[in-house]
Amino acid sequence: MKNTPLTNKHIELGAKMAEFAGYNMPISYSGIKAEHAAVRSSLGIFDVSHMGEFIVRGREAADLIQKVTSNNVSKLGIGDAQYSCLPNHKGGIVDDLLVYRLPEDMCAEGEQAFMLVVNASNIQKDWDWINQHNDFDTKMINISDQTALLAVQGPKAVEAMQALTDIDLKDIKYYTFRKGVFAGAENVLVSATGYTGSGGFELYVNVNNAAEIWDAVLEAGKAFDIQPIGLGARDTLRLEMGYCLYGNDIDDTTSPIEAGLGWITKTKKGAFNSVEIFKQQRAEGVQRKLVGFEMLERGIPRHDYEVADAKGTVIGRVTSGTQAPSLNKAIGMGYVKTEFATPDTEIFILIRNKSIPAKVVKMPFYKRDGL
């Protein structure tokens, strides 16, 4: 089991630690509900250094990314980020990822550079998959072991963190980034992609600076009652927003069209893996869809619970579920037959041999004012 550069910090803070994606990660500190509330109301800091980062650089870097990802990377200007996925050859998803268009000062003339941020459990899988398709004038560099990632999330993030950097944090719009000095460390990439729905930033830093920046963020956030946040609250926060978790809500067998990710599947951009499958799914429709649902009676939906119709016929399965701390109700996501995917449709979650009613709802479940 691997450690992040901040593992000792978490242990010192009394975190409950557990293995996640091969890493020794903090699951909670003060408790999931309290940590969740801190991010929604003020400020929290996450260690997500287990994530993987690849640099893709060269004269045909954009061509390689266009071939292996579903979104249209040609739309990215320097300083932009993009959510995308890596389709396989059967219409499924190898992984979902972020694509950053990097400044060209690190490139030779005529080159472009990108950073791909992938899920921890898929680092080797994604690396091999992209390299398998790299017949372009492009070089890939795996910087995962040299890169730490901190997420400072919550509505007080700008106010609390501005003193640590000359970067104007207010200027970092959603899905953009800046590079500069942060907490005395140079070449920190500060982005605003978010996975919580409460605003904030991600800090990509050299592993040698990670502990110092962690401490600086906690010190700067004291006046805002900043809290360290574990992966437990990260999961409840993302689920309230209806964000997919790879391995739960999307995987090698799920299509982005089925998963409600048609908006990152640009079938008109040109050739890419599985594009013809996605065109056909758009034209003919799909047999199942990923939906959000709320429980109508007491019961917590969990991953892989069956979903049934009123007659008891199984029509799908739950992919994610929890008691939503911000909403004080049980919510979930799951795949159901398309005819049951319309909002307000009644479905039933099979929990310990009981059929508990629920209704399909639009996502996100949590709607933050101003967004």
The per-residue pLDDT for 371 is: 39
The number of helices, as runs of H, and strands, as runs of E, in the chain is 8, 19
Q: Which ranges in the chain belong to alpha helices (H)?
A: 7-12, 32-41, 61-68, 123-132, 157-161, 210-220, 231-240, 275-284
For domain 7-48+146-240, give the fold.
Gyrase A; domain 2 (3.30.1360)
pTM above 0.85, yes or no: yes
The per-residue pLDDT for 368 is: 65
Residue 321 pairs in a beta bridge with 332
pLDDT per position as a tens digit, 89-138: 999 999 999 999 999 877 788 899 999 999 999 999 999 999 999 999 99
Q: How many CB atoms lie within 10 A of CB 287?
A: 11
User: Residues of the chain whose pLDDT is less than 50?
Assistant: 370-371
pLDDT per position as a tens digit, 150-167: 999 999 999 999 999 999
Q: What is the CATH architecture of 287-361?
A: Beta Barrel (2.40)
Domain-by-domain residue ranges, the chain?
7-48+146-240, 287-361
